[in-house]
Amino acid sequence: MKRLVLLGGGHAHLSVLEDLALHPDEHVSVSIVTPQPQLLYTGMLPGYVAGHYSLERCSIDLVRLAGHAHASFIQASAVLVNPGVREVICTDGTVLGYDVLSINVGSQSQSGVKGVERNALLVRPLQRFVNSWMQLLAHIKNQGLSSISVAGGGAGGVELALAIAHRLRRELDSHAPHVRLITDSPVLLPSFPEGVRERILRNLRRYEIGVHAGSGVAEVGLGFLRLESGLEFESGATVWAAGVGAPAMFRESGLATDAAGFLAIDDYLQSTASPGIFAAGDCATQVNDPRPKAGVFAVRAGPVLAGNLRAALAGTPLKPFRPRRNFLTLISAGRKHAIGGYGSFGWEGGWTWGWKDRIDRRFVDRFTAT
């Protein structure tokens, strides 16, 4: 019997588990290794922070999904992969042999900035951030806070700044802390078209969110934040949504990576140096056609990954994954309002949020109904 091991419960592995549930193979044993029994869908995280969704509404039960896929569920993390003997070593001491290994563990918060690990609320891993956010919200309601800083000028940082400002204004009104957004880039969302950026800035002004661009964070202290420019702010809390890092496991395992440490994969989503190891999502870089670290690519890669894992197990030809260069972007803007972008076009409105809401709910429902 062939052994398929899935490391991580990310967006691409949802499609793999769905495929296994719909088309079981009695000649393949499947194990999934992930530290959390549920996946919090990243597309709905800002809506959760803003108060539009309950945690249950934007979560997918991985244990249940694994059961439908006839897969063994192991609640742990992998610490080492040994491609020479095709084994995975887990934090709980479990050693799993594999014939085909698939990795979809996402990225992690990375900074190298003094005080971040000790004093900031790291957005990744998401479950830890959710717990920290609820504790912070309770603290603000009980004891108050003068300001919150969000570090990160990408879509994730912008959405969280707007979501936090909306939630606090709705629940605390005039006593809501001031929210500021900080990025080392000269502008917010540098890879987005001007029309989208202008709409984002208008929405940030609506919530009186301060924008400080062009200088990175030098230090996150207890109650303050200092920029590389020397400017210093009082900051009762700092949310760290800046930059993503690769899991250390890849280099420690001697796997081929790109310059930033992300697993190097080819057009078939297979490791460039270790046959039988596949990956998708933020943890990997498709070296011939690199893409931004965005959840949309993990979702799109899922069906191709599922097919290639079956092909690798059966010894049949693989199919390439060729993501489209343009993709739809829907950015939530605090209240039930969103900004959309595709190519050079941008738009916004309550109807755009409704569109995003339907897409997100449909995605979660797809895997909770499996």
* pLDDT tens track for 14-64: 999 999 999 999 999 999 999 999 999 999 999 999 999 999 999 999 999
Q: Cα–Cα distance between 258 and 264 in angstroms, integer?
A: 6
The whole-number pLDDT of residue 345 equals: 85
Same domain (yes/no): 187, 271: no
Whether 58 is in a domain gets the answer no
Q: Cα–Cα distance between 47 and 167 in angstroms, integer?
A: 10
Query: For the residues 285-312, what does the mean pLDDT come to?
Result: 87
Same domain (yes/no): 146, 216: yes
Which of 242, 257, 282 terminates a domain? The answer is 242
Residues 64-92: b if buried by 16+ CB within 10 A, e if exposed: bbbeebebebbbbbbbebebeebebbbee
- Model confidence at 370: pLDDT above 60: no
Same domain (yes/no): 16, 27: yes
Q: What is the residue-wise DSSP string for 112-152? A: --BTHHHHSEE-SSHHHHHHHHHHHHHHHHHH--SEEEEE-
Same domain (yes/no): 20, 99: yes
Task: Give the CATH number of the domain where residue 147 resides.
Answer: 3.50.50.60
The whole-number pLDDT of residue 331 equals: 95
Same domain (yes/no): 128, 183: yes
Whether 273 is in a domain gets the answer yes
Work out the mean pLDDT of the chain and round it to a whole number: 92
Helical pair 350-368 and 11-22, crossing angle rounded to 10 deg: 50
- Model confidence at 293: pLDDT above 70: no
Whether 279 is in a domain gets the answer yes
Q: Cα–Cα distance between 123 and 241 in angstroms, integer?
A: 6
pTM, two decimals, is 0.93
Instruction: State the Cα torsion 224-227-233-236 to the nearest 10°.
Output: -40
The whole-number pLDDT of residue 24 equals: 93
Same domain (yes/no): 113, 175: yes
Number of domains in the chain: 2
Q: SS3 for 36? A: coil
Which of 242, 267, 290 terminates a domain? The answer is 242
The whole-number pLDDT of residue 175 equals: 87
Band of residue 268 on the pLDDT scale cut at 50, 70, 90:
very high
Same domain (yes/no): 24, 171: no
Q: SS3 for 370? A: coil
Whether 338 is in a domain gets the answer no
Query: For the residues 97-122, what does the mean pLDDT come to?
Result: 90
Highest-scoring range by mean pLDDT, 121-125, 144-148, 241-245, 350-354: 350-354
The 10s digit of each residue's pLDDT in 162-181 is 999 999 999 998 889 999 99
Whether 52 is in a domain gets the answer no
For tokens 């398929």, the residue is 4
Whether 137 is in a domain gets the answer yes
Band of residue 125 on the pLDDT scale cut at 50, 70, 90:
confident
Q: Cα–Cα distance between 281 and 288 in angstroms, integer?
A: 15
Same domain (yes/no): 83, 186: no
The whole-number pLDDT of residue 56 equals: 95
Angle at CA of residue 110, ends 106 and 114, nearest 5°: 160
Same domain (yes/no): 113, 89: no
Are the C-beta atoms of 238 and 227 separated by less than 8 Å? no
Q: How far is CA 350 from CA 258, 334, 337, 345, in A?
A: 40, 11, 4, 17
Q: What is the residue-wise DSSP string for 287-341? A: TTS---S-HHHHHHHHHHHHHHHHHHHHT---------S---EEEEESEEEEEEE
The 10s digit of each residue's pLDDT in 65-109 is 999 999 999 999 999 999 999 999 999 899 999 999 999 998 877
Same domain (yes/no): 188, 126: yes
Query: For the residues 257-274, what does the mean pLDDT come to?
Result: 95
Around Cβ 342, how many Cβ atoms within 10 Å? 14
Beta-bridge partners for 330: 340
Q: Which domain holds residue 273?
A: 2-35+76-107+246-314
Same domain (yes/no): 9, 86: yes
Whether 207 is in a domain gets the answer yes
Whether 71 is in a domain gets the answer no
Which of 284, 314, 344 terminates a domain? The answer is 314
Are the C-beta atoms of 302 and 16 separated by less than 8 Å? yes
Rg value, the chain, Cα: 21
Q: How far is CA 51 from CA 59, 79, 92, 177, 258, in A?
A: 15, 35, 35, 17, 38
The whole-number pLDDT of residue 90 equals: 94
Angle at CA of residue 250, ends 95 and 239, nearest 5°: 110
Same domain (yes/no): 207, 280: no
- Model confidence at 302: pLDDT above 60: yes
